[in-house]
Chains A and B, each alone.
Chain A
């Protein structure tokens, strides 16, 4: 019979054995659990990271994170694609090298302020101050703070404000329009009456002077200028009336043919060749024939006047989806890029004659028809005006579109584009 000592030894061994087995099991379990936990944490981190990356990349404005040495730590897709690079190509490089090709951080960078104050900083439209890499943006910098409260990185948020600027410009344009419109409507009467007296008596004087009297030149000048002022007032009143279109069925090709006929004198006297490419079977649409005639007339007479030494006037129409596209091109000197944006602003003109209202009126008319007018111009090559009119088959459809905001009725439906190539 085994002794008690034996049994206690066995027991000890057994318990040790169990302990060993159990310990190993627990250890395994703990490791397993820990590993699972770690991998879950890692998963979480990865997921969070992916989410962050998705948010980072999902933001359509530019985002860059830089450290205190202005090295790029991260950049989102929008910003990378703006720079024409992949994000990984940019990470690690100094931002000033990428953006400004400079050897040190740009002076204008708002990150300087964020690093020194730990606060959000902003530089608005840095192109106004010059030196920055990009036009039409606001740059905000936000601090990234470590556990000790120190700003270790800065997030640069590059907000494209061209839309806002465009809106502001449009607003200014509208204000200008209505302001000038109201003013003109109120004072047209006041201006016109004295003008008539000035012109009328100047005419009498002119007629009283003999043909060879040198003073006739002066009275002639007075008469010409009075006529010009009267013309401006007349056009201003046209602009002021809201140009509500009187809708009827219109054949755009026919209107263009009529306008061409109206302008045949100018075309002949300037030795301009006309190339017409009017699409056959262009649908009839609803519109105000007289207004559209006026709109095309303004664009075409500008084109003719831009080619006093001759050139080519190309007129084409085509159907593109639910739109009629009218293109009027000239081979004139082109429009300087800085003038493109002002083209449709009332009283803007580069010519010494003319009121500067022609294209403003044209745009009003096109807007009222729910269309758009676009300009493409290259200095030294010529300009193309593209007028896009929606195909509207009935007055009801037009009213419906107006109701749902597709026809703006004085809204601002134009887009502008400009090419700047070619000899200046």
Chain B
């Protein structure tokens, strides 16, 4: 259950940042309406594609954190089982 709560919080942050990004992108005024300024989904190609790096690093960090959470839960489960064994004997 703990894992799902943490996952949910993590997804919420991702969505929230993605949301603010798109709002910022929309807020920018379109200068001239020539060919190069046709509106496309360019958020991830802006500013030297730095958002791609952000996405990659967040993915790596998220993967490591989820792995650590699952390790933590496995250890907790073992602790519980061992305690149960002590009680049962």
A and B interact physically: no
**Interface of B with A (CB < 8 Å)?**
none
